[in-house]
């Protein structure tokens, strides 16, 4: 029997150098510290990439995966299982993994056979529902948890209900640096004979650098030979979003305050050797951070452990580390207090050096060699812990792992998009300008971009496209009556004064999604007033499908603004209207809303199912499931494949369903409705039905023809009796992409659910809902 106390192979998962972030540095230092302390233990690294292609990693990196690609997390788990590692050491921070609150990492952890030791770099006192869900499940799936402060341990015990004996408190590691006089290093930076204040780390607005700059005039008035060094590149994510706006604002502030000759910005990510020289030259280290809920600061740990006098705002890690006069705490956003504290330390050299010595002595327990031994103790405890019975087999059958989904490819959609909006039609894959644009398609396209945002795929191209689609709807909106024009010609002239009821309903759906689902505040602010006006107009319509689209939009809107009583009242009205249509038409053999089953059919029960689920409306719930069950039956071919009602005759009561032409929008609507039925009921049969209807795009149809074009990412315009319509218009392409996006959201929810849960248990969690829920 193998000796479980031996740890022969450890895999470190997280950000990794040369990626520029604190956790990347931490993972690198920890891996090398363990490898140096335990030469007989093989240390490999599996980093997560935030850019295409990743980074130029060292040889210890054996596998890498993309932050926003769920399948990559599963492949990484497969690699680690086949690699037969003894322990997986995971570095966790919500922002470095894909999905809602980084929940893609749960898919990997759920699939791992080796025990997982998770280091939590953030433990929130007031998490939102997704953050609480992710951290709770991660704690359940991990064999041991490591935090860097006692406060973190207390939060885990009291907020997340983690057993105390599962948690190890291990301080943030630091390099082993001798205790030297700062003057030893100052000549390297041409600051000899000066007092040096230092802040280092990746620059971002939450660091509070501006408050130190505002304190400097008071400091240099008393100590004119003072310089403040701000060391570190701007955070790469901030550069991608805003460029160097924050750094430039700091430089302008220094100029306005007349302190330019007292401030030095080093705009680069420095290596460890150079960083230690900067720290060595500092007389006082300042962390003016603005967020009190920071439970770990690597920069504070480095400066403190290397024996620096520290002035800091009272965020959690600083409160704990700097207690008992090991540093000075000042209020948040208080330049005067920073100035007073710095001047006190510069005046009182004995106190400053005593503070340095206390910090340095306590820091001896924080050097990486000591931390490596503490981690190895945790690894051994994990190896000796009981193995979770739910650990998956290394190889899975097709039943255990459902079919893979196609890659989301937006080439054709973006080709159909110009600076005005989305072209309606195409000849093969070439945009057909003769038919212009329509609000219908632009509304659907806007909804798709919001789902892509939720999937973490809101690339610059997607964001630009979303802005274009929103601008088109804004132009189509008629504020005088709350409705939307629909058709815009190639000549940029509207083809009608008023669009259809369905166009109005889809626009309401899109506006609701912008309000309740998008994280882009400008989209939310743009959408709300139009949503309210358009919803009032929707009450004047007579189309059941427009009502259904409106209910989807109301549901999205109420996700964020659930206290809006008028919108909730409109939901009640539209729900009752659909039920009245059903009662007036349906019987035991024909449980439907109309005497003809026409187009976009599954949206009707889908909308009622949402109302039934979230309003607690039993009648709506029952009617929705009854009608959706029947629609599944009448759209199943003798061979068992999905056969949508054809638009060459539709399906009239007493007649036979038209077999052709089959439209992609029907497969999309059915997929979406079945996903919602699964979330509402927990019945795994709806998962099978969602896959059944989605596979119509992938050749599981009457003719065995692929409607999805893997070359372009587009979708053919329908299935005719003699084959596929080879044109790839906007409606068809959007139908496929929307269905695929919803299937990916479903896949994410299933992969990140508790592994011991069955489908019915998973479905009880509304927070893990589909794009429609």
The residue among 752, 764, 606 whose CA lies nearest residue 676 is: 606
Predicted pLDDT of residue 242: 78
- Per DSSP, the residues of 527-558 read HHHHHHHHHHHHTT---HHHHHHHHHHHHHHH
What is the number of other CB atoms lying within 10 angstroms of the CB of residue 441?
25
Structure tokens at 508: 């309401």
Predicted pLDDT of residue 143: 97
3-state class of 115 per DSSP?
coil
pLDDT tens-place string over residues 135-181: 999 999 999 999 999 999 999 999 999 999 999 999 999 998 888 88
Is residue 765 pLDDT above 80, yes or no?
no
Element housing 596 (H / E): strand 596-597
48: left (phi over 0), alpha (psi -120 to 50) or beta: beta
Structure tokens at 570: 């409109």
Residues 6+ apart with CB under 8 A from 274: none
Predicted pLDDT of residue 754: 67
Is residue 61 pLDDT above 80, yes or no?
yes
Is residue 630 pLDDT above 70, yes or no?
yes
Phi, psi dihedrals of residue 682, rounded to the nearest 5°? 75, 5
pLDDT tens-place string over residues 704-752: 999 999 999 999 999 999 999 999 999 999 999 999 999 999 988 888 8
Lowest mean pLDDT among 280-289, 399-408, 603-612, 711-720: 399-408
Pairing outcome for strands 65-66 and 42-49? parallel
Q: Could you give the CA distance from residue 455 to residue 352 in angstroms, rounded to a whole number?
A: 50
366: left (phi over 0), alpha (psi -120 to 50) or beta: alpha
CA angle 569, 571, 573 (to 5 degrees): 75
Q: Could you give the CA distance from residue 721 to residue 27 in angstroms, rounded to a whole number?
A: 59
Instruction: Tell me the whole-structure pTM to 2 decimals.
Output: 0.79
Predicted pLDDT of residue 764: 36
Predicted pLDDT of residue 571: 98
Predicted pLDDT of residue 398: 45
pLDDT tens-place string over residues 454-492: 988 888 999 999 999 999 999 999 999 999 999 999 999
Is residue 1 pLDDT above 60, yes or no?
no
Q: Could you give the CA distance from residue 696 to residue 637 in angstroms, rounded to a whole number?
A: 12
CA-based radius of gyration for the chain: 30
3-state class of 74 per DSSP?
helix
Q: Could you identify the residue written with the tokens 């602010």?
A: 525
Give the residue with greater pLDDT, 761 vs 440: 440
pLDDT tens-place string over residues 189-212: 999 999 999 998 888 888 899 999
Is residue 611 pLDDT above 70, yes or no?
yes
Predicted pLDDT of residue 127: 94
Q: List the beta strands (DSSP E) in 211-357.
A: 226-231, 263-266, 284-287, 309-312, 328-329
pLDDT tens-place string over residues 75-123: 999 999 999 999 999 999 999 999 889 999 999 999 999 999 999 999 9
Is residue 331 pLDDT above 70, yes or no?
yes
Q: How confident is the model at residue 771 (pLDDT cuts 50, 70, 90)?
A: very low
Predicted pLDDT of residue 156: 97
Predicted pLDDT of residue 773: 36
Is residue 770 pLDDT above 90, yes or no?
no
The residue among 615, 623, 697, 622 whose CA lies nearest residue 663 is: 697
3-state class of 111 per DSSP?
helix
The residue among 195, 230, 186, 194 whose CA lies nearest residue 211 is: 230
Mean pLDDT of the chain: 92
Structure tokens at 335: 């330049």
């Amino acid at each position: 029997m193998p000796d479980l106390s031996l740890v022969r192979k450890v895999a470190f998962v997280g950000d990794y150098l040369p990626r520029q972030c604190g956790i990347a540095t931490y993972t690198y230092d920890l891996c090398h510290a363990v490898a140096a302390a335990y030469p007989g233990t093989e240390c490999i690294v599996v980093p997560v990439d935030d850019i295409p292609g990743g980074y130029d990693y060292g040889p210890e990196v054996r596998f890498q995966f993309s932050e926003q690609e769920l399948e990559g997390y599963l492949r990484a788990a497969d690699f680690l299982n086949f690699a037969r590692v003894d322990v997986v050491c995971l570095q966790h921070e919500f922002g470095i993994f894909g999905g809602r609150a980084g929940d893609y990492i749960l898919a990997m952890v759920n699939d791992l056979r080796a025990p997982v030791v998770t280091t939590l770099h953030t433990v929130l006192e007031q998490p939102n529902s997704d953050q609480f869900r992710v951290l709770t499940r991660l704690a359940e799936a991990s064999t041991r948890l490591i935090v860097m402060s006692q406060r973190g341990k207390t939060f885990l015990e009291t907020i997340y209900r983690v057993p105390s004996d599962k948690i190890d408190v291990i301080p943030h590691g630091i390099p082993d640096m001798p205790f030297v006089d700062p003057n030893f290093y100052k000549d390297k930076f041409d600051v000899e004979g000066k007092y040096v204040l230092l802040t280092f780390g990746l620059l971002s607005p939450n660091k509070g650098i501006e408050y130190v700059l505002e304190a400097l005039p008071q400091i240099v008035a008393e100590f004119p030979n003072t310089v403040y060094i701000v060391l570190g590149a701007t955070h790469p994510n901030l550069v991608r979003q805003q460029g160097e706006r924050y750094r430039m604002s700091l430089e302008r502030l220094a100029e306005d305050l007349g302190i330019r000759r007292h401030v030095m910005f080093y705009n680069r990510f420095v290596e460890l050797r150079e960083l230690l020289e900067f720290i060595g030259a500092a007389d006082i280290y300042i962390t003016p951070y603005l967020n009190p809920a920071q439970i770990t600061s690597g920069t504070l740990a480095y400066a403190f452990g290397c024996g620096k006098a520290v002035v800091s705002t009272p965020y959690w890690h600083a409160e704990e580390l700097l207690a008992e006069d090991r540093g000075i705490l000042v209020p948040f956003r208080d330049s005067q207090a920073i100035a007073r504290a710095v001047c006190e330390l510069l005046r009182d050299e004995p106190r400053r050096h005593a503070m340095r010595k206390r910090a340095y002595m306590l820091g001896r327990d924080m050097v990486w060699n000591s931390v490596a031994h503490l981690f190895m103790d945790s690894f051994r405890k994990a190896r000796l812990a009981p193995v979770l019975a739910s650990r998956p087999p290394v190889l899975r059958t097709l039943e255990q792992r459902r079919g893979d989904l196609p890659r989301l490819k937006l080439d054709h959609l973006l080709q159909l998009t110009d600076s005005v909006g989305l072209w309606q039609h195409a000849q093969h894959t070439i945009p057909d300008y003769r038919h212009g644009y329509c609000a219908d398609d632009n509304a659907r396209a806007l909804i798709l971009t919001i789902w892509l945002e939720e999937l973490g795929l809101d690339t610059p191209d997607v964001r630009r496209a979303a802005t274009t689609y929103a601008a088109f709807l804004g132009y189509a909106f008629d504020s005088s009556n709350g409705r939307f024009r629909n058709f815009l010609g190639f000549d940029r002239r509207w083809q009608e004064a008023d669009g259809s009821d369905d166009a109005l309903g889809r626009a309401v759906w899109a506006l609701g999604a912008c309000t309740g689902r998008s994280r882009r505040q400008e989209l939310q602010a743009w959408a709300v007033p139009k949503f309210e006006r358009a919803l009032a107009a929707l009450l004047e319509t007579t189309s059941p499908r427009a009502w259904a689209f409106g209910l989807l939009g109301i549901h999205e809107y109420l996700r964020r603004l659930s206290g809006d009583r008028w919108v909730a009242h409109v939901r009640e009205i539209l729900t009752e209207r659909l039920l009245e249509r059903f009662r007036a038409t349906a019987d035991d053999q024909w449980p439907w809303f109309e005497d003809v089953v026409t187009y976009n059919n599954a949206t009707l029960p889908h909308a009622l199912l949402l109302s039934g689920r979230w309003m607690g409306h039993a009648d709506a719930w029952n009617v929705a499931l009854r009608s959706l069950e029947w629609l599944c039956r009448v759209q199943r071919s003798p061979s068992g494949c999905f056969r949508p009602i054809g638009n060459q005759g539709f399906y009239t009561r007493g007649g036979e369903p038209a077999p052709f032409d089959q439209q992609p929008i029907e497969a999309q609507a059915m997929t979406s409705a079945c996903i919602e039925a699964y979330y509402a009921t927990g019945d795994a049969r709806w998962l099978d039905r969602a896959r059944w209807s989605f596979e119509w795009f992938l050749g599981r149809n009457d003719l065995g023809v692929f409607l999805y074009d893997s070359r372009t990412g587009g979708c053919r315009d329908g299935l005719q009796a003699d084959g596929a319509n080879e044109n790839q218009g906007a409606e068809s392409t959007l139908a496929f992409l929307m269905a695929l996006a919803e299937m990916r959201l479903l896949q994410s929810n299933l992969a990140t659910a508790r592994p011991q849960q069955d489908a019915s248990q998973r479905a009880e969690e509304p927070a893990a809902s589909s794009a429609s829920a």
